[in-house]
Amino acid sequence: MFFSFSGNFLYISTFFKDFAKGTEEILDFSSIMNPKEAIEIASQISEVQGLAPIGWSLDAEYGVQIYTVEFRDSYTEIEAKINANTGEILEVEVDD
């Protein structure tokens, strides 16, 4: 995986095993909410009530920038995916 910066954009190039084909996703930092806002939104989801977030990541999937906020207790791991532009909750995944 290769990263390059240009202004407010981060280009991420991922190459497959044969290195002949690649894909490129763009993270545009000028139009997204900050991580604290995404964590606040994710913390309102009923499945994570009473849990503290343990981490977050920012990815681009099919042109949509998405924060993934992770929560965990002794028995369960929960990931909440938040649209980084709109704050919409896209997915909540619970692993018991």
Ordered per-residue pLDDT tens for the chain, 96 residues: 344 444 454 444 443 333 444 556 677 788 899 999 999 999 999 999 989 999 999 998 888 999 999 999 888 899 999 999 999 999 999 998
16 plus 52 within the same structural domain:
no
19 plus 39 within the same structural domain:
no
Phi, then psi, of 89 in degrees rounded to 5: -80, 115
21 plus 63 within the same structural domain:
no
Report the domain count for the chain.
2
What CATH number is given to the structural domain containing 57? 3.10.450.40
47 plus 91 within the same structural domain:
yes
42 plus 23 within the same structural domain:
no
Domain boundaries, position 20: 1-30
57 plus 37 within the same structural domain:
yes
80 plus 37 within the same structural domain:
yes
pTM of the model: 0.74
